[in-house]
């Protein structure tokens, strides 16, 4: 779990470093990369996360909708930083101070979406459910290790977000210490989310719907969050919200890679 979290921190730092080194040039191919990442996440959702969440409980759909609404609220605050939108002005005025609410929203987003990555926690919980005889064909642990499909999806998603966040901070002349400090905080959110998830599963508290119900609810919430991000990225990245040949190719590659990785 620590290795997974630190790896996602490294991804965020790499995104910031790319922006520091290349400046605005780093943004040139951002729509194509976003389309690829959005397509991969879409494949991840329907080929893996949805079947897994519903294998624990049929109530997962309620939490998918809740996650979708949560992400709408978070993006209302962040103004779309989660899917590569960056705004240097507000009400026609150039931003001169950090948009703390947007950064906080971005951190909450990273915290929530990474919870199911808790490597041993979900595998142990699935084992408990299996022992009780509630389910017999749940394959959870395969997606929890570093290098898994879920990890890859979040890493692909986090890199451009970190790049955009660093670009925003640099555009308002934030100091080097502030930029890298806040980027590191954002990069550590997945680790905090995993520890929080692991702590609940191993707390011994009585969970509504049992362990399986809690896992289903959490994964449903993450599905809703990622579904909103993926659909927004796919339909809004690029000029005029249209698919060109490069974007279409990136989308097909992303979905194809998701199928190869998960199927």
- Mean pLDDT value across residues 113-126: 66
Average pLDDT score over residue span 37-57: 88
User: What average pLDDT does the chain have?
Assistant: 79
Task: Write out pLDDT tens, residues 205-251.
Answer: 777 778 788 888 989 999 999 999 898 888 765 555 566 788 888 88
Instruction: Write the DSSP symbol of residue 148.
Output: S
Question: Which two structure tokens, joined as six digits, stand for 76?
Answer: 């209302």
What are the residue ranges of helices labelled H in the chain?
A: 2-22, 30-44, 50-56, 60-78, 100-113, 119-131, 149-171, 176-201, 210-236, 245-262
What does the alpha-carbon distance between residue 261 and residue 49 come to, in Å, rounded to a whole number? 13
pLDDT at 94 over 60: no
Are residues 1 and 119 in contact, defined by beta-carbon separation less than 8 angstroms? yes
Q: Delimit the domains of the chain by residue range.
A: 2-21+39-85+97-262
Distances (CA, A) of 109 to 70, 105, 187, 204: 9, 6, 11, 26
Distance CA 104, CA 204 (A): 30
Look up residue 90 and give its DSSP letter.
Answer: E
Condensed to tens digits (0 to 9), the pLDDT of residues 1-34 reads: 788 889 999 999 999 999 888 887 877 778 888 8
CB atoms within 10 A of CB 132: 11
Q: Write the pLDDT tens digit of every residue in 147-200.
A: 677 888 889 889 988 988 888 888 888 889 999 999 999 999 999 999 998 888
What pLDDT is stored for residue 70 in this prediction? 93
At 134 the pLDDT is 46
Mean pLDDT of 100-112: 89
Q: How far is CA 90 from the centre of its chain?
A: 26
- The mean pLDDT value for 39-65 works out to 89
pLDDT range class, residue 128, cuts 50, 70, 90: low
Q: Which residue has the tokens 């290795």?
A: 3
> Which pLDDT score, from 0 to 100, does residue 53 have?
86
195: tokens are: 């520890």
| Separation of alpha carbons 203 and 48, rounded Å | 27
Residue 61: other Cβ atoms inside 10 A: 16
Task: Report how far residue 114's alpha carbon sits from residue 154's, in angstroms, rounded to the nearest whole number.
Answer: 8
Residue pointed to by tokens 């494949």: 43
Query: Could you report the per-residue pLDDT of 232-242, keeping only the tens digit for each?
Result: 888 765 555 56
Residues in the chain: 263
Task: Indicate the pLDDT class of residue 116, thresholds 50, 70 and 90.
Answer: confident
With 80 as the cut, is the pLDDT of residue 259 above it?
Answer: yes
Write the DSSP string, 30-46: HHHHHHHHHHHHHHHII
What per-residue confidence (pLDDT) applies to 137?
A: 38
């Amino acid at each position: 779990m620590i290795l997974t979290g630190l790896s996602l921190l490294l991804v965020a730092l790499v995104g910031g470093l790319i922006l520091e080194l290349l400046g605005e040039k780093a943004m040139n191919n951002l729509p194509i990369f976003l389309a690829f990442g959005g397509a991969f996440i879409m494949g991840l959702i329907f080929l893996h996360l949805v079947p897994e969440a519903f294998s624990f409980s049929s109530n997962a759909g309620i939490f998918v909708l809740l996650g979708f609404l949560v992400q709408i609220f978070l993006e209302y605050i962040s103004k779309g930083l989660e899917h590569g939108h960056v705004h240097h002005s507000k009400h026609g005025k150039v931003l001169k101070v950090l948009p703390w609410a947007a950064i906080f929203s971005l951190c909450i987003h990273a915290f929530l979406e990474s919870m199911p990555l808790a490597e041993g926690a979900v595998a142990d919980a699935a084992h408990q459910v299996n022992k009780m005889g509630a389910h017999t064909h749940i394959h959870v642990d395969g997606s929890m290790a570093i290098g898994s499909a879920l990890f890859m999806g979040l890493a692909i998603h986090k890199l451009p977000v970190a790049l955009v966040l660093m670009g925003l901070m640099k555009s308002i002349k934030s100091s080097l210490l502030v930029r890298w400090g806040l980027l590191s905080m954002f990069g550590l959110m997945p680790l905090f989310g995993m520890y929080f998830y692991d702590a609940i599963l191993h707390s011994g508290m009585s969970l509504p719907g049992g362990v399986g119900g809690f896992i289903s609810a959490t994964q449903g919430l993450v599905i809703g969050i990622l579904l909103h991000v993926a659909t927004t990225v796919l339909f809004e990245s690029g000029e005029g919200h249209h698919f060109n040949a490069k974007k279409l190719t990136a989308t097909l590659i992303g979905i194809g890679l998701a199928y190869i990785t998960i199927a």
